[in-house]
């Protein structure tokens, strides 16, 4: 896709942003078998948790350099860290561990089924830090836990709208209640496209620029059509008509035609919607009687696909027009 138009307009999309936190107990329940975990500190509260998806080793913090130790992060004690602790005199090792565990440490993992000295567990228990041991190697432990934490603790928000997969492009339909978002998506489903979510779209941010939309667990691909009621899309149209989640690539804003507003007619002026700090291309479609919103939605998706191949129809037409005018005046 080409560089951003200097006349681009960016508007934040209103939604309910939520902070996600995972407790040590929830992590145990979900990944105990995968990570081969056992609890070494009995009697401690496992409800402490983290909002930070990063997980690292203590490194220099064990050597006394604790200036940049972040609070609320999970820590991994690999073979290097445990060997270093055991190389110290007991009093010195206890002192280093006390300095480290005095921070907000929700949990400490020990990998490779390494033996853990009793003084290590005593210091951790004194500061109410659960210690869990994994049978996996440090490398394998990181490989299994990091994607899980990044997925569970990804920034998330809920948006009032409908999400559909149209020609492989995730179109998020937004607009005032009753504007016709659900009806438009239902028509798209009837034409062979796929419903992801209706009414409430749960959006999570993965990585820096990727937004994934999915439906609420309770709703499960049901739609509310005014005048008809609640319909079960997979029962009516089959499993081909739905998908569980989809990347959000274009926001389609539906609104009643406003004769006092000037709508884009060339497509040279770009609009963007901001969701969770990520800017998504936005197309505003004014509604008036007789307009086929379903076909327009398909064209929006196909135009976005063309941009991936480097084809920008409005810019190409603008170049041809300018070239024609230049030749005409020569």
| Residues assigned a catalytic role | 160, 181, 199, 265
CA–CA separation, 156 and 211 (whole Å): 9
Classify the C-alpha dihedral 74-75-76-82 as positive or negative: negative
Q: How would you classify the pairing of strands 222-225 and 229-232?
A: antiparallel
CA–CA separation, 247 and 214 (whole Å): 9
Q: Where are the alpha helices (DSSP H) in 44-136?
A: 79-87, 90-101, 118-126
Cα within 13 Å of Cα(223), Cβ side: 29
| DSSP-assigned letters across all residues of 154-202 | S-EEEEESEEEEETTEEEEEEESTTSSHHHHHHHHHHTT-EEEESSEEE
Classify the C-alpha dihedral 286-287-290-293 as positive or negative: positive
Identify the CA nearest to 29 among candidates 152, 112, 155: 152
Cross-strand bridge partners of residue 23: 49
């Amino acid at each position: 896709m080409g560089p951003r138009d200097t006349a681009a307009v960016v508007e934040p999309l209103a939604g309910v942003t939520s902070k996600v936190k995972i407790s040590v107990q929830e992590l145990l329940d979900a990944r105990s078998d995968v990570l081969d975990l056992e609890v070494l500190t009995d009697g401690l509260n496992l409800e402490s948790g983290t909002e930070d998806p990063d997980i690292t080793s203590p490194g220099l913090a064990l050597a006394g350099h604790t200036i940049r130790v972040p609070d609320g992060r999970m820590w991994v004690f690999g073979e290097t860290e445990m060997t270093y602790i055991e190389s110290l005199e007991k009093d010195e090792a206890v002192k280093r561990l006390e300095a480290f565990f005095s921070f907000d440490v929700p949990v400490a993992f020990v990998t490779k089924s390494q033996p853990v000295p009793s003084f290590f567990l005593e210091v951790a228990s004194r500061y109410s830090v659960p210690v869990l041991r994994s049978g996996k190697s440090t490398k394998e432990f990181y490989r299994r836990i990091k994607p899980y934490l990044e997925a569970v603790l990804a920034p998330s928000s809920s948006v009032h709208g409908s999400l559909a997969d149209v020609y492989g492009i995730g179109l998020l339909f937004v607009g005032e209640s009753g504007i016709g978002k659900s009806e438009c998506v239902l028509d798209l489903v009837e034409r062979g496209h796929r419903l992801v979510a209706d009414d409430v779209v749960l959006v999570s941010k993965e990585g820096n620029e990727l937004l994934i939309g999915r439906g609420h667990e309770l709703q499960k691909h049901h739609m509310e059509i005014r005048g008809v009621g609640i319909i079960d899309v997979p029962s009516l149209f089959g499993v081909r008509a739905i998908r569980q989640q989809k990347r959000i690539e274009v926001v389609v804003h539906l609104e009643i035609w406003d004769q006092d507003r000037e709508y884009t007619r060339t497509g040279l002026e770009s609009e963007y919607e901001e969701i969770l700090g990520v800017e998504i291309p936005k197309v505003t479609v004014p509604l008036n009687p007789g307009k086929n919103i379903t076909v327009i939605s398909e064209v929006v998706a196909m135009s976005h696909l063309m941009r991936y191949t480097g084809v920008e129809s409005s810019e190409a037409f603008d170049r041809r027009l300018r070239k024609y005018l230049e030749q005409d005046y020569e």
